[in-house]
Structure 1
Amino acid sequence: MRYLINSDKLNILTELDSNRQQELANKYNVTQQAISKIKKRKECYQSVIKSENVARRSRCPSSNLYTLLDSLVFEFIQLLEERNLPVDDKLIKAKALSVAQSLGLNSFVASANWFMKFKKRNDVRRLKQHGESRCVDLEVVENWFLKLPDIVKDFEPDCIYNADESSFYWKALPTSSYLTRGSDQHGIKQSKLRVSVMFCCNRFGGKEKIMIIGFRARPHCFKKFNYDLSTIGVNYKYNSSSYMTSALFNEWLVEWDNRLIEEKKKILLFVDNCPAHKLTADLKNITLIKLPPNTTSHCQPLDCGIIANVKNLYRSKIIQRLAPSVENDINLLDSLKELQLIDGIEMLQGCWFNVKPDTIVNCYTKAGFPLN
């Protein structure tokens, strides 16, 4: 992607009346989002560019120089944003001082007050960066979306499945909270106790049993279910790493394939390119399709909001469970110690089946799957 200078932006503003945004994006080798931003800030850019031209003739009033300063610092932030480099307040202030010196604004101070007003003027906010979507090749995604209708055309929506694994930190609390004014609440050290969980659902919103992959064959807390979690609709496996392996994956596929043979049902199963998803079994009624590499944040339904929804429901559930104990003056850490793996699995199972079918259907649509 190309970095636009002010003359480019002026040309784009001139051409917007007679050209579509996507056409201009292709012409200038930028994203359509960048063109949209320029259109929204039309008056600002025209004013700044005019001020910049005046400044070059050394007859620029001080107010215009400060407008130009704002613009150049804002463009600097956009440039680093496009190149995926995180930006903090110190870097912005240092850039502002450098630009101010080049403009002859020797009295300028990048104070906390200036920075606060700069953020407000330019709608700059500090946000947490999530996921891996910036690493995705959008051209690959678009090509996949074009191929997808042909891949699924012979299957009904309830025969199109997606499966994916995720880490399950069953004692981890939410990292954000509503606080009263003046509160000085601090967080606690999050628990690192982890197992893996695999989710699987179809295009129509139907769900399969979750698979939990733990470290031990018979955790003591499973005793109340006679060490058989199938009685609560959970498939439990284990290995030394508590991660999915090719052996576990193929064992699960064979078991499911045998059930499908009895039901006389054939399905299409989409999975990502994780090495553990290497197919070694001979399947009769399951056709396994691998998603394009490094595109799961766009192409995998479970990564488009389904797993996030389950985890949000779980975080809410764990707080509801702990709140009465804390309200009765029991220390939060002591309450967490009482929470066992089986408690977390039971809550997770409930949260999984509380995910609305509409949520699943919408996430499939977001991932490019057509509605047959």
Structure 2
Amino acid sequence: NNSMPPKIQKFPTKELTLKEKVELIQIQEKENLPQRKLAEKFQIGKTQVCKILKRKAEIMGIHEKQLCAPAAKRPALMVPKKQFQADIDEVMWKWFIRMRGMNLIISGPLIQEKALEVARNLGIKDFKASKGWLGSFKERHSIRSLKKPCERADVDPGDWKDSVLSLLCGYKACNIFNMDETALFFRVLPDRTLTVTGLEASGGKQKKDRITISLCVSMEGEFEVPLVIGKTAKPRCFEQIDPISLPVTWKHNKKAWMTGELFIEWLTRFNRKMANQDRKVALLLNNVPCHLNLENLSHVKLIFLPAPFTSMLQPLDQGIIANIKVHYRRRLLQTFLKRIEECEDATAALAAAKCVTVLDAIYFVDAAVREVKPSTVRRCFERCGILVNSSSGLDENTDFNGGNDTSMAELLRKIAERLHLPNVMTPDEYVAVDSNVISTECLSDNWEEDLITQIKCDAADQPDEVNSDEDDESDSSDPTSPTFTEVMHFIKGIKDYAVHHNLSDVLQKVMTLESDLDHYQPSIKQENLKDFL
């Protein structure tokens, strides 16, 4: 048989440095190379490439820590010499994060004892959790102290509004931030018979349509780039998209929720940004296990809100998140209507309505965040007793619903009529449909065993590439891209419509769009240029 597959080149086992791992990750994100090509480029095995990509968030987090640390104090983050040591390190780091998140006491001997247990469970022999290994582990992850964090309970819920000013003493309004997560059913229909408010952490029937959004905003309405967490690194709708170019930061894990690892990565990056801007800021956080009390943050002071009263004390929960979801749901309903108006029957219309992808949701989220007014944000901070540099002229009737409810009510009525929905939600129900869904990591009773199981599955599972399905029902067919000429024809149609209806604002935007697109016009072929010389 002459059609034998080509032999796969094997390379001797070697461990990449942290710098090389970061370079590998960046090349994969930029060029989207398959794992085989990456293995050849770095002369390592495909299994090693797979494990590096699976640990991408952790590796980039360590890299960020190095960049943030002062040069004289930067730890020499050496990587383990053998892959099995990397597996132990990965499990132990996740274990450490979860123990710290539960505010439990951690000692050096406890870490060593746990590392030996992990090695046994992974079937690794001759591993010694020596003091040298412990010191290296602490250096790799910039662990300065093993003492139990003591600042989570520094806010007494009984007199929060009396003590908040002293906690924020010296901070300007522009330097007081709040960060929180919320679950989002990104293409949910307003049908009570299909959706149940207050679904379990997994999201029930809607779990495949759920993403998590992490929002951070200052008292003056300055939003950080939203962090959006999905289930896969590159959903099918990202096929032609570089995730770095998205208007949000895209991350993923199997549960599509915030974890300690993602929080550390985000907070380290936020601290670095504030350091670059020479800003000392205060960050209000709700008290959940994945929100870790990081040590040695140079420019961010963490203030943890008392858990039982977070919804009353957190500005994002006082109307900002709801305001964003109003804007999001309105765009979603408008999209539903546009996609079903040409359908012949309710069944086809229902299928068309579900054709909203994660990519659509990301741009809807970005637009919704930008629609939130600074006055709305400030009013939500004031509701929590944060009155720093307060303006006296604020409207007491600030609109937290993102506009009049009649417009959304009318959209819901049209959707119900077109899709024959017998039990349509009210505007308030539709906005809050996912408000009780858990968006941060929940640990099971067997969470330590789950860490071992996961690392074993990761070692056995070698997906062909990170590109995978985010359960986008709409992605079953790939749309044909129009030509440049067709796009310009569409633009001309919009201009003609705007002129005819005297829509000057729309016309101005379309003219700008046309000018921008001119820069992307395919180059005229030059092969026969010599014929004209």
Q: What interval of TM-score do these two structures reach, taking the shorter chain for normalisation? A: 0.5 to 0.7
Structure 2 residue matching 1:276: 3-state secondary structure: coil
Name the amino acid aligned to 1:195.
Answer: I
1:337 equivalent to 2:351? Answer: no
In structure 2, what is the equivalent of residue 261 of structure 1? 275
In structure 2, what is the equivalent of residue 346 of structure 1? 363
CA distance in 1, matches of 2:217, 2:267: 14
Mapping for residues 115-154 of structure 1, pairs under 5 Å: 141-154=157-170
RMSD: 1.9
In structure 2, what is the equivalent of residue 366 of structure 1? 383
CA distance in 2, matches of 1:254, 1:141: 28
Identity between Structure 1 and Structure 2 (%): 29
Correspondent of 1:274 among 275, 288, 302: 288
Q: Report deviation, 1:140.
A: 5.6
Structure 1 residue matching 2:228: 3-state secondary structure: strand
The structure, 1 or 2, with the larger RCO (C-alpha pairs under 8 Å, 6+ apart) is: 2
C-alpha distance after superposition, 1:50-89 (max 9, x if no partner): xxxxxxxxxxxxxxxxxxxxxxxxxxxxxxxxxxxxxxxx
Structure 1 residue matching 2:180: 3-state secondary structure: strand
TM-score (norm 2): 0.40
C-alpha distance after superposition, 1:23-71 (max 9, x if no partner): xxxxxxxxxxxxxxxxxxxxxxxxxxxxxxxxxxxxxxxxxxxxxxxxx
1:210 equivalent to 2:226? Answer: yes
Q: Is the 8 A contact 2:340 2:350 kept in 1?
A: no
CA distance in 2, matches of 1:161, 1:244: 18
In structure 2, what is the equivalent of residue 237 of structure 1? 251
Q: Report deviation, 1:227.
A: 3.1
CA distance in 2, matches of 1:301, 1:198: 14
Q: Report deviation, 1:226.
A: 2.0
CA distance in 1, matches of 2:335, 2:360: 10
Q: Report deviation, 1:369.
A: 0.6
User: For the structure 1 residues 249 and 281, does the alpha-carbon distance in structure 2 shift closer, same or farther, using more than 3 Å as the test?
Assistant: farther
User: For the structure 1 residues 371 and 280, does the alpha-carbon distance in structure 2 shift closer, same or farther, using more than 3 Å as the test?
Assistant: closer
Mapping for residues 5-24 of structure 1, pairs under 5 Å: none
CA distance in 2, matches of 1:211, 1:260: 17
In structure 2, what is the equivalent of residue 165 of structure 1? 181
Question: Following superposition, which runs of at least 4 residues in structure 1 exceed 6 angstroms of deviation?
Answer: none
Correspondent of 2:308 among 294, 298, 301: 294
CA distance in 1, matches of 2:354, 2:188: 12
Structure 1 residue matching 2:293: 3-state secondary structure: coil
Q: Report deviation, 1:149.
A: 0.7
In structure 2, what is the equivalent of residue 305 of structure 1? 319
Unaligned runs of 5+ in 2: 1-154, 196-204, 390-533
In structure 2, what is the equivalent of residue 25 of structure 1? none
Q: Report deviation, 1:325.
A: 2.4
In structure 2, what is the equivalent of residue 328 of structure 1? 342
Q: Is the 8 A contact 1:250 1:279 kept in 2?
A: no
Q: Report deviation, 1:141.
A: 4.2
TM-score (norm 1): 0.57
In structure 1, what is the equivalent of residue 374 of structure 2? 357
Structure 1 residue matching 2:249: 3-state secondary structure: strand
Structure 1 residue matching 2:216: 3-state secondary structure: strand
Q: Report deviation, 1:169.
A: 0.7
CA distance in 1, matches of 2:309, 2:349: 39
Q: Report deviation, 1:328.
A: 1.6
C-alpha distance after superposition, 1:65-121 (max 9, x if no partner): xxxxxxxxxxxxxxxxxxxxxxxxxxxxxxxxxxxxxxxxxxxxxxxxxxxxxxxxx
Structure 2 residue matching 1:269: 3-state secondary structure: strand
CA distance in 1, matches of 2:222, 2:333: 27
